């Protein structure tokens, strides 16, 4: 079990990902492609430690990326939202492949029923919590086969192609918290 003061693990192999829900949430305004939201849980040998949601526009990962919300903390009987916090990651495709960066999280869209606190980037980057968060991301990337599209760069569709060329990706040299992802 973990709390904001206790650690998860920095070894993604010690984490077991259990994919759960998978559904369409809408369509892309520019080309009509569907958006997809998947969720699941992550457990250690001792306990459930994370619930996660990932959403993206199918066929548009190269242009828009994907959002990961990790709800981290103690789960089960006798726990409450005050035992958990939310971390937000933005996954994107850079010229060198998939990357991920920490963003400020939010308790919007019902996450306030699951967690009492949303962590800011500066509460993660440069702290021991960063290694844990990236281990969780790596475990999801390696074990949830539904996310395979996020780790390759498909060709953009016709209507979005022109915008893709103008999009500036974050610099690798910035201290924004970007971290190279895994390629599956």
In tens, the pLDDT along 16-48 reads: 999 899 888 777 666 778 888 999 999 988 888
What is the pLDDT averaged over residues 128-149?
91
pLDDT tops 50 at residue 138: yes
The DSSP code for 2 is -
pLDDT tops 60 at residue 174: no
Q: Is 146 exposed, middle or buried (0-12, 13-18, 19+ CB in 10 A)?
A: middle
Q: Beta partners for 179?
A: 100
Measured between alpha carbons, how far is 54 from 33 in angstroms, rounded to an integer? Answer: 17
Minimum mean pLDDT among 96-100, 128-132, 156-160, 174-178: which range? 174-178
89 closest CA partner among 62, 125, 60:
125
Which distant-in-sequence residues (6+ apart) come within 8 Å of 71 by Cβ? 50, 51, 52, 84, 85, 86, 111, 114, 115
CB atoms within 10 A of CB 109: 9
**Whole-number average pLDDT of the chain:** 79
pLDDT tops 60 at residue 3: no
What is the pLDDT averaged over residues 75-81?
92
Name the more confident of 167 and 84: 84
Residue pair 100/178 in contact (Cβ under 8 Å)? The answer is yes
Minimum mean pLDDT among 57-66, 67-76, 91-100, 147-156: which range? 147-156
Vertex 170: Cα angle to 164 and 175 (nearest 5): 170
Give the model's confidence band at 113: pLDDT under 50 very low, under 70 low, under 90 confident, else very high: very high
pTM of the model: 0.75
């Amino acid at each position: 079990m973990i709390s904001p003061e206790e650690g998860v693990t920095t070894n993604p192999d010690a984490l077991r990902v259990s994919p759960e829900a998978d559904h369409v949430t809408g369509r892309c305004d520019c080309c009509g492609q569907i958006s997809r939201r998947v969720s699941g849980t992550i457990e250690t040998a001792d306990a459930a430690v994370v619930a996660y949601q990932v959403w993206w526009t199918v066929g548009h990962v190269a242009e828009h990326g994907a959002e990961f919300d990790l709800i981290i903390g103690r789960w089960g009987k006798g726990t409450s939202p005050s035992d958990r916090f939310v971390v937000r990651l933005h996954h994107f495709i850079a010229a060198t492949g998939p990357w991920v960066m920490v963003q400020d999280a939010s308790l919007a869209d019902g996450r306030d029923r699951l967690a009492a606190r949303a962590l800011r980037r500066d509460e993660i980057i440069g702290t021991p919590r960063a290694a844990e968060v990236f281990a969780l991301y790596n475990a999801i990337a390696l074990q949830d086969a539904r996310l395979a599209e996020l780790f390759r760069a498909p060709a953009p569709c016709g209507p979005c192609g022109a915008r893709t060329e103008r999009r500036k990706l974050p610099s690798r040299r910035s201290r924004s918290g970007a971290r190279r992802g895994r390629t599956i």
